[in-house]
Chains A and B, each alone.
Chain A
Amino acid sequence: MDVLIEIRDLHKSFGSQEVLKGVNLMIERGKMTVILGVSGCGKSVFLKHIIGLLKPDAGEVLLEGEDLTKVKEVRMNQILKRFGMLFQNAALFDSMTVEENAAFPLVEHSKFSPEEIHRIVQEKLRLVGLPKIETKFPSELSGGMRKRLALARALVMDPEIVLYDEPTTGLDPIVSDVIEDLIRETQQRLGHTGVAITHSLKTCFKLADRVAMMEDGKIIEFTTPEGFRASTDPRVRQFLASTSKGPIKIKE
């Protein structure tokens, strides 16, 4: 197994609430790992630790052996250039146009001329199937278009690792399907390593090469999609059956 990122015994609490209770996970190079779990199980918090938005109370996030939880900000900024991230609500800059949004990482970090940046941005916008809307602002776009633009922005630097935070939440089933196809297609075509979190079984099975299920701050199952479907863990069975009856209780 060619491991790119290894997460070791990650712990995180907010006040008296313990959210991550010792997460261990290996993320394979070039594969799409999907982390599945009910809302509030800690998967968003976990994803934010991979990219350094949160610091753990204990544990390590090793990218090719380098512990990302301990590096200084300047070094982290170098490492972050290898990452792209698709946010749940797109997190587009609303003061910028579509083209400026997609071009932002290139403008900040590349030495390309404005013409070359324009060309690369056009190519990425075509890749995500966005029609000619470069001069519009994010507030003028539909939810699906915003997600596409956010994906174009996440891919514009040709990152090695792309993180997807609930890529289909809040979209209608048809647009969700389109976005899932798009994510899968771009990941396979560009060959980057993907980590997605979702609570949707459909999204999970459409995207995943590896499935990890998180429950109550821990990874309780980590396997292939087939292995996941065949899992005998009662919590996995309950999730697959999509029922409220079972060992997973929703905290009121």
Chain B
Amino acid sequence: MVLRALEEAGGIFILFFQSLYWLFRPPFRGTIFLQQMEFIGTKSSFIVGLTGLFTGMVFALQTSYALRLFDLEYMIGPSTVLSLTRELGPVLTALLVTGRAGSAMCTEIGTMRVTEQVDALHTMAVSPVQYLVVPRIISGVLMLPLLAALFSLMGALGGYLIAVFMLGQSPNVFITETLYSVDANDFYIGLIKAAVFGLILTLVGCYKGYRAEGGSAGVGKATTEAVVLASVTVLISDYFLTSWMY
């Protein structure tokens, strides 16, 4: 069990370094990069935005009950937006994208592996790491911060709607208190976290697919493992990133 975990961690690191090596070598396949960015980024934006909106609304509502006890209702804005930019935005976005795109890339690469399409790439003198893994990892690292920002923005809007239209807070209080308490750093750190999560979820998804074996059952197993491993790694690394950056 321990040996297997170590072997897996080693395999993921090797794939990471192979990807770095192939990243800077021609040919550069712009179309594939754009396709992956569209798949990971654009096509995830609706679900990420929707989840962000409702997360912000729920968060504002729940904190209002607690803050009301201490007469601190003016803190609804800052508490909602801070939680979103620092934690909820990057983490929930990463978990959503893991479920949506991480699993899909694992299944796609895994199916290509068990039907010898990955071997076919190799025999046609195309590095499978460069062709399949690099564009997905780069797209993950670039798109996750944007998606996390969208999540936080929609969440802030959700919090604003609840605070102003349901709890009757003045818009002015919500906005000034939020701007007063939240600085740009909170936002940037959230974005850095999201980029790291983007790396993790794409790397794990690609690695598990790349190592899939045993037909369709093997691909199914690889996908399940990819989603679990990527989610757990995101949550654990979130703790370490938070304790390191604040």
Q: Which A residues are closer than 8 A to B by beta carbons?
A: 48, 51-53, 73-74, 76-78, 80-81, 83-85, 87-89, 91-94, 104-105, 108-109, 153, 163
Contact = CB atoms under 8 A, between A and B. Distances in A.
Contact of A52 (B116, B120, B122, B126): B122
Interface string B19-36: 000000101000000000
The dominant DSSP class at the B interface is loop
Contact of B127 (A77, A91, A109): A77
Nearest to A53: B119
A139 B159 CA distance: 48
A92 B25 CA distance: 26
A89 B115 contact: yes
B123 interface: yes
A104 B123 CA distance: 12
Interface in B108-126: 112, 115-117, 119-120, 122-126
B27 A108 contact: yes
Contact of B123 (A74, A80, A88, A89): A80
Contacts of A109: 125
Contact of A91 (B25, B117, B125): B117
Contacts of A84: 123
Interface residues of B, number: 14
A78 B127 contact: no
A48 B123 CA distance: 10
B116 A108 contact: no
B124 A89 contact: no
Contacts of A92: 117, 120
Contacts of B112: 93
A73 B123 CA distance: 12
Sorted from nearest, which 8 A-B pairs have the closest CB atoms? A80-B125, A91-B116, A91-B120, A85-B123, A77-B125, A105-B124, A81-B125, A87-B116
Contacts of A88: 116
A88 B117 CA distance: 11
5 contacts: A76-B125, A87-B120, A89-B115, A93-B117, A105-B124
A109 B121 CA distance: 12
A81 B125 CA distance: 6
B116 A51 contact: no
Nearest to B126: A108
